[in-house]
Structure 1
Amino acid sequence: MITISVVAYARGNPEKLLYPTDDGGHICGFDAGYTEKPNVVYFDILACAAMGASVITMGCPTPQVCVKECPTYYYSYLYTKALETANSNNPLSSERNKMVCKDGIDPSSGDIDVLVDNEDCAAYLVESTSVLGRCVPSIFEDIGSMGANLLVNATDPNSVLATAGNKTTLTGTLLEEGTKYLALFFEVKEYGEKVFKDVLASWWLILTCLAIGMVVCFIWIIIMRWIAGIMVWLSIIAFLGLWSFACYYSYTKYYELKNTPDTVIGLSQAFTLNFSYYLDLKETWLAFGCTSATLLLLFTLILLFLIPRIRIAIELIKAGSKAIGNMMFTLIWPIFPFILQIVVVGYWAASAIYIASMGSAEFYSNSTTNKTTDGVTYYLERAPCDSADTSALGQACQFVKYGGDEYTIPLEIFMLFMFLWLMNFVIALGQMTLAGAFASYYWAFEKPKDVPAFPLLSALYRSLRYHLGSLAFGSFIIAVVQLIRIFLEYLDQKLNGSENPVAKILLKCLKCCFWCLEKFLKFLNKNAYIMIAVYGRCFCFAAKDAFFLIMRNVVRTVVLDQVTDYLLFIGKLVVTGAVGTGAFFWFQGKVDFFKDYVPTLNYYLTPVIIVILGTYLISCCFFSVYSMAVDTLFLCFLEDLEMNDGSPEKPYYMSKGLKKILGKSNKKLKEVDETEGAPKGGKGKK
């Protein structure tokens, strides 16, 4: 990847992609002789609009030239021609100077029809605005006024302008259709400027709210050790109460309607969308009652079977909270993988841009006419040509894009794969580092006394020193699957207009299968990294051990995942909702104490939305650490159960709460520390 990047940096030129280019391949505002001409004017901007999305790859089928400034006026050569005809066909310099022509073309001399027919000069111009160096029509409040300014024939109020040769008169309707998206662009641009000003005016308050969100996340994680059990059991009781009430109410309504005369159900009534009709039927409430009673019975039986496992899950969640409380730097750890990911994205984006600009200029000519709109024929199919030739239709070769390098596409695909690989590698490094830190906490016999002084740094050192190969291999597998998914998405877009149902079904099945495969591999890799952090084994053996360990305890795994996901989801909602609600009242000026600190805003919801999104992302980072802690402690707990038996030679390392739930205990020797069961004056085994 580095080698390819060096070659791209040596041969590429990003200015080719950033700056506009005329139809001769000259970079406006960059090439010699064009440094003072940073903008490009399209002779027929509507021809570009008619190309649709293909204009990106095939270019705009109209001449384009570099100019110093975009036209700020309306012009039509027909109007100039009419004035010159009235002036005995003498060229009018005041009108000719308004024309935009190719380099080397003098608009003040020659027949104006010839200049336009040969596409040496533009047939018409509209008031334009520079957008990224491209001159696009300016949008007024009334788009129709643009057409009124371009009227060239007083006897025909519907005529707006005309081009040369085989192109006929354009109507105001076409102009309006061609510029409606530009109108939307400038409208969005106006809102964007106001939003940007709001961000500048309130950035320090936004950062303050995000800092408050970090504090709230930390506090919530700490108090989870006391409220986790309460939240889970209250939710279960509420669920049972809800279904019990549903069962009671349904049977009550059924017995009320049972004594009423039967209602005959006709076909027209059976297929009606009038739900009040069905609510008056006793059969409906009988079905509701049977369904709710069945679900209530099943849920109660499952709950009775899973109560011990739910208690284990709650105790592990509490243990995760204690572990984070003793290693608070783990909450800051997600910042470092995030910084590494930013570096990867920046490096990959720069390399991809340089690779894309390595090729030479490609020129195309109009080859096929296949679209006519409002009497105007547009050339939608284009063929490669030499810049010195002209096509059979008399259209000169025009610059389209930089390409032509047969290795550009394969190199871009390779860089995409490396991007996926590196991003997954950074994620894997973050997971293994956290797993190593939390594993060192679990396998400390006397907690937190036996926990290493710098568990996070020690785990990072072990990951970098001994396990880079395992991290690279695990992330490589996921990157391959992700690249295949991207390829399938590309095929799906290509077959979007296909009428072959078999191909569509097959493609959907493949996308679904690879999506499931990616999710499974991510789950397996995460647990493999935990086993690597605990035992130091290679990736394949660790993945095998983790998989069979989970399969031997599949019910516990499912319960723990569901309970943990539920609690983390509640935590994200609480933190985001609390901070977002506070920000809403703050920026709206509803809090009297903070009124003097509220800036003048165009939209007070702008900082509120940013705060809500930022707080949610922060909560995801904090709770991802919490989730990793719970998963690591869970696998360590399962290993502890299978490896140890509570004897002095093989004591349990689990907490007192877990031993109490399972009915386990460490056998005493002489004097036992009542907190964890370790002999006084000694340390447990690791």
Structure 2
Amino acid sequence: MLFVALAAVAAVQAESSTNTTVKYIDYTSLKKFTRARSAKQSSTAGSHEQQQQQQQESSMTGSQEQQEEIETPVPTHVPIPTRPQTEAPTPAPTLAPTPAPAPTLAPTPAPTPAPTPAPTPAPTPDPGPWEAKWIDHDQVKPFAQPEPVTISEKAAVKFKPQLHVTNGCHPYPAVNEAGETGAGLKTKGAPSAKCKGSGWGSQVYGRSTWVQGVWAIMYSWYFPKDSPSSGLGHRHDWEHVIVWIDNPGVENPKILAVTPSAHDGYSKEVPPKADCVDGTSVKVNYESQWPVNHALGSTSKGGDFQDLIMWDQLSENARRAMNGVGWGKANTPFNDGNFKPKLEKAFASFQINYGLLFHQGAVFWVGMIAIAAVGFMHGEPKRLLYGSDYNGTTCGTGKHQDQPLTFYPRITQDLLEQASNPSLSPEDFSFYGVCVATCPDAGTYICNYEAEAEIQSDTSLKTDEERQEERKSRATNLMILPSEKQCWLVALPSEQVFYRCLQITELNSTSVEKCVVPGDEPEYYDEVNGVQVPNEKCEIKRVITTSESMEPAQENPLYSTLQTVGATIGRVIGDLQETWPVFLLCGGVLALVLGFAFVILLRFCAGCIVWITLWSFVLLLLLFALMLSTKGGIIGRSDLSALTSEIASAAAAAGVDTSNVNATEIVLPQTLQASQDRQKAYAVAAYVVYALAGVALLLVCFFQKKIRIAVGIVKEASRALQSLPLLVLFPIIPFVMLLILFTYAAIVGAYIYSSGEMQLASLAGELAEQAGQNVTAEATTTLSKVSPDQTMKLLVAYHFFGFLWTAQLINAISMCTIAGAVSRYYWSRNKTSEEMGRFPVFTSFKNCFRYHFGSLAFGSFIIAVVQFIRAALLYLDHQTKDLQQSNLVLKVVMKIVQCCLWCLEKCLRFLSKNVYILIAMKGHSFCTSAMDAFKILLSNIAQVGAVSTVTFLLLGAGKVAVALSCAIATFAYLEKNSDDYGVGGAHELSSPLAPILLALLLGWFVASTLLGVYEMAIDTILLCFCEDKELNKESGQYFMSDSLKKFVATVKKEPPATDIQDEKP
């Protein structure tokens, strides 16, 4: 059921974006911004003629103003790419559009655009509140539908909906050119009484803009009354529908969703049904379900078209009327006060629909919680921690509740017997155990349950001494006693290790120090705690160590190895306990500081480091190839001797004294001499490495421009991290989330795995009850056939898949958050907080849950499925290892499938990372972003390869450098404080190796985390760069830094004078 639900949910993905506010990109708000800047420019101009020309240009007609409209589709709605042929202004302010002045002159041909927009006078003061001018509803003349000019107008006409009126009034014009508005009708008579259509014609009002990466077109109709029947309803009614498309600037925009208004809310069609769309026109129904008022909804019935007039095409008085007139219980949805809130509400509804469809995947987590509850009811994790006795009973449970420890009285015998069986794997060894309350002491005796019960019930044994003698007697006569009534001597002391009592070997050693030089005299000794110890006058001392230990009489190599390993682990843990502040400081704090320093260094010296790294890589390949050549016999000693002779001759000809140089005989070290047994293999390897070195050399030489661009991208990523310092600390959040998830998964998994035998038939009822569902579970024949062991495995598999999915989802949220914040940085002109937002990292993180959660969950689901298949295949490989020993074909097939799945997972991870970047940048669904990512990567494959190679080498070198620095710092600190950490010190260590290695690993982890953020920033900048280059190649108004612009060719084209928006973005 889960996979069916997920497959159904995967068909629809949420459209989303990195921004949380609605952006308005229309000519009125831009015009206001341009006028303000032009006024500032005109204040410095001294020419009266120029100012007069500016005044004339500011009084151009509305059609000319529409030519200045900027609607360039953008990948993210933090910045707005500028139109061609003009200097790039700062992004338009996020404000509701202001009314445009009424046209005063006839349209004139647009002049050829200058490099900088002509200054215009400052806007006129607000004329004050609008006074309503009411006229009869059937006397309002509509606006004629003008010829569309801009991209937004053409898209609005193309997607104009059909309105089908089932009952009630037909749509009427609401306002005329003078600003006079219809007075509406009282709610008397039939629903359509006196409002079956205007003799002047009908009207539909439109307005459009970008909303979180989606183009929204709002179509609004006015009805004189909203009356289900006489006396019900109210005067005036406004209804609207919003058509959501992907991009109005492309050749064939797609309808993503339709949200008709319905009683202060919205109904949703995501995507609209096929029979509800006629070509590019959605079909909308206006109907009242008595006694509820009218509302819009999708329909399969055809309807009528009305003349469309866009907000920017209305006269100034008409716009002022729409902003200022009160319509009673109705309100104008597309005016300045309502347009933004309506879009936000509809967009949230539109997104929630996507979310709800995919949030059915949350049912999976409900199932996980239900399974966890059942595991808590039936499971006992102590079964996994505690050992089992010879009867298979878990110690610490049942009748052994007070005996949680397991002692193995004959472990030596068990190990030797089972080790002699070559077909038995060490992990399958089993030992004869007895449950005890405490670990027994050396010299005591322990018996199995039957023998102990017989001794305790023997009335002839009055005292503990007599019972102890009986145990001793039974231990002495093991060979003649039945196996179920035996006792054993505890020869050595035992210690508790994971609830097991393991015998240990006690080692007592004493050391005596004698002064040798100058001599064994009292003046060369000091008394310390009653012991004579050589003092500073003694130059050489002799140390005599005497050791005494208690060991088993019969040697057991396996048990000795176990004891050695256990002792080593104990010493390592002790060393780490003594040095934890040191390796935390050196491996944690120092690694973080060095990581920051490396990022800053890359900003200023990235070019130098990159080129040194690349040429060093080529040189290392050549040196490695030469070494293989000598081992493979390709280059011999005579060749090297001849080469050095030529060099010596050339040096002598140049006047260099070579009399002291013997260049006739070269003696190679043993490691470089030709290998006799593997010479052919070394020769083949040498040719392969030569080929790789040649390819690397050619790539470095012929891709220098790509490499320089990669250097610029690396520097830009460094600037982004400096502008977003909180981004470096953000990984703490996903780390804590993963830690909580891992803890939860481990605890719940332990309960499930230790739940023992459960029948699936009875389990179904418990799951339904725990999930809070009203379900009656019946023990069907199918369920009854599932064995208890299979039930436990199914639950563990379900839980394990949930863990994988959630872990991948956390990683996806982390990557999308970083990409969103860096995208905000890139797509802002001046890189200021006003453009990026006050908290870009937090905003990006919030958007992952508000807008992108469905897409991220789908992408993580795909990777989790592949990981789960790989895990299942590994389990199958483990279960069939004996069969594979006798079937070579099965073994090879298993390895090939595992390799293919590994490659598939790596490819999916690489692609999904780029998909998450585009989701954060553009706000599209996972599938759409996947196709976009594939196109971008394919069209820029050389650049992507250059950046990936540079990033791999740079960050790999950075991680190694930071980790090694942490290890060296730890070693230096311990050496400097050898009095404390050396022999006899307050924090004596058995070896400094453990803290040094842990500091190395911790430094690698911290560096990988920090530079992982840096790597994600580089990948985001790369995709932003590719998108910026494609979007603005004709205008040259790029968002990239100046260091990158010089590598990008600009192809400028003169746009048509009648419509600058016809140029494709």
Superposition TM-score, scaled by structure 2 size:
0.47
| Partner residue, 1:461 | 846
List aligned pairs for 1:102-251, cutoff 5 A: 116-117=481-482, 119-131=484-496, 132-140=498-506, 146-148=551-553, 172-173=554-555, 176-177=556-557, 179-199=559-579, 202-203=580-581, 206-207=584-585, 210-237=588-615
| Contact 1:116–1:122 (CA under 8 A) maintained in structure 2 | no
C-alpha displacement of 1:8? 1.1
| Partner residue, 2:917 | 530
| Partner residue, 1:266 | none
* Aligned with residue 503 of structure 1, among 890, 893, 898: 890
Which whole-Å deviations, capped at 9, do the CAs of 1:600-635 have from their partners, x for residues lacking one?
331344433322221111110110000000101111
Residues 21 and 75 of structure 1: CA distance in aligned 2, closer, same or farther (over 3 Å): closer
Which whole-Å deviations, capped at 9, do the CAs of 1:437-486 have from their partners, x for residues lacking one?
11111111222352222111111111101111111111111111112212
| Partner residue, 1:451 | 836
> Which is worse superposed, 598-607 or 538-547?
598-607
Residues 564 and 76 of structure 1: CA distance in aligned 2, closer, same or farther (over 3 Å): closer
Which amino acid in the other structure matches residue 122 of structure 1? C
Distance in 1 (alpha carbons) for counterparts of 2:586 and 2:1051: 48
Residues 490 and 463 of structure 1: CA distance in aligned 2, closer, same or farther (over 3 Å): same
Which whole-Å deviations, capped at 9, do the CAs of 1:193-229 have from their partners, x for residues lacking one?
5324423xx5267336521221221122122111110
Which amino acid in the other structure matches residue 505 of structure 1? V
1:654 has 2:1020 as partner: no
Residues 591 and 577 of structure 1: CA distance in aligned 2, closer, same or farther (over 3 Å): farther
List aligned pairs for 1:493-572, cutoff 5 A: 493-497=878-882, 498-572=885-959
Which whole-Å deviations, capped at 9, do the CAs of 1:99-124 have from their partners, x for residues lacking one?
798xxxxx999x98899415133255
Distance in 1 (alpha carbons) for counterparts of 2:794 and 2:413: 32
Which amino acid in the other structure matches residue 487 of structure 1? A
Specify the SS of the correspondent of 2:836: coil
C-alpha displacement of 1:501? 1.2
| Partner residue, 1:409 | 793
Gaps of 5+ in 2: 1-367, 448-459, 508-546, 647-669, 677-682, 759-786, 1056-1064
* Aligned with residue 314 of structure 1, among 711, 721, 724: 711
List aligned pairs for 1:58-457, cutoff 5 A: 60=431, 62=432, 64-73=434-443, 97-98=467-468, 116-117=481-482, 119-131=484-496, 132-140=498-506, 146-148=551-553, 172-173=554-555, 176-177=556-557, 179-199=559-579, 202-203=580-581, 206-207=584-585, 210-237=588-615, 276=673, 301-359=698-756, 406-448=790-832, 450-457=835-842
Residues 128 and 120 of structure 1: CA distance in aligned 2, closer, same or farther (over 3 Å): farther
Distance in 1 (alpha carbons) for counterparts of 2:593 and 2:1054: 43
Which whole-Å deviations, capped at 9, do the CAs of 1:371-392 have from their partners, x for residues lacking one?
xxxxxxxxxxxxxxxxxxxxxx
Specify the SS of the correspondent of 2:948: helix
Distance in 1 (alpha carbons) for counterparts of 2:427 and 2:643: 69
C-alpha displacement of 1:66? 3.2
Distance in 2 (alpha carbons) for counterparts of 1:423 and 1:560: 28
Which whole-Å deviations, capped at 9, do the CAs of 1:247-292 have from their partners, x for residues lacking one?
9x9888556789xxxxxxxxxxxxxx9964799xxxxxx9999999
| Partner residue, 2:869 | 484
Which amino acid in the other structure matches residue 626 of structure 1? Y
> Which is worse superposed, 444-453 or 318-327?
444-453
Specify the SS of the correspondent of 1:480: helix
Distance in 2 (alpha carbons) for counterparts of 1:410 and 1:274: 55
Distance in 2 (alpha carbons) for counterparts of 1:13 and 1:100: 37
Residues 292 and 437 of structure 1: CA distance in aligned 2, closer, same or farther (over 3 Å): closer
| Partner residue, 2:149 | none
Distance in 2 (alpha carbons) for counterparts of 1:653 and 1:234: 29
Specify the SS of the correspondent of 1:311: helix
Distance in 2 (alpha carbons) for counterparts of 1:143 and 1:516: 57
C-alpha displacement of 1:38? 3.8
Specify the SS of the correspondent of 1:359: coil
Residues 296 and 525 of structure 1: CA distance in aligned 2, closer, same or farther (over 3 Å): closer
Residues 9 and 519 of structure 1: CA distance in aligned 2, closer, same or farther (over 3 Å): same
| Partner residue, 1:375 | none
Residues 345 and 458 of structure 1: CA distance in aligned 2, closer, same or farther (over 3 Å): same
Structure index of larger Rg: 2
Gaps of 5+ in 1: 78-89, 102-106, 149-171, 259-272, 280-285, 362-402, 670-685
C-alpha displacement of 1:125? 4.2
C-alpha displacement of 1:57? 6.9
C-alpha displacement of 1:349? 0.5
C-alpha displacement of 1:574? 2.5
Specify the SS of the correspondent of 1:661: coil
More helix by share: 1
Which amino acid in the other structure matches residue 40 of structure 1? T
Residues 205 and 191 of structure 1: CA distance in aligned 2, closer, same or farther (over 3 Å): closer
Q: Once superposed, what is the RMSD of the aligned Cα atoms?
A: 4.4
* Aligned with residue 627 of structure 1, among 997, 1015, 1019: 1015
Residues 48 and 100 of structure 1: CA distance in aligned 2, closer, same or farther (over 3 Å): farther
C-alpha displacement of 1:657? 1.0
Distance in 2 (alpha carbons) for counterparts of 1:582 and 1:668: 62
C-alpha displacement of 1:322? 0.4
| Contact 2:804–2:867 (CA under 8 A) maintained in structure 1 | yes
C-alpha displacement of 1:570? 1.8
| Contact 1:12–1:356 (CA under 8 A) maintained in structure 2 | yes
C-alpha displacement of 1:341? 0.5
| Contact 1:8–1:351 (CA under 8 A) maintained in structure 2 | yes
C-alpha displacement of 1:17? 3.0
| Partner residue, 1:384 | none
| Contact 2:576–2:995 (CA under 8 A) maintained in structure 1 | no
> Which is worse superposed, 527-536 or 444-453?
444-453
| Contact 1:432–1:530 (CA under 8 A) maintained in structure 2 | yes
| Contact 2:717–2:1014 (CA under 8 A) maintained in structure 1 | yes
Distance in 2 (alpha carbons) for counterparts of 1:522 and 1:244: 33
| Contact 2:738–2:807 (CA under 8 A) maintained in structure 1 | yes
* Aligned with residue 44 of structure 1, among 398, 410, 435: 410
1:17 has 2:384 as partner: yes
| Contact 1:43–1:121 (CA under 8 A) maintained in structure 2 | no
Distance in 1 (alpha carbons) for counterparts of 2:643 and 2:685: 13
Superposition TM-score, scaled by structure 1 size:
0.71
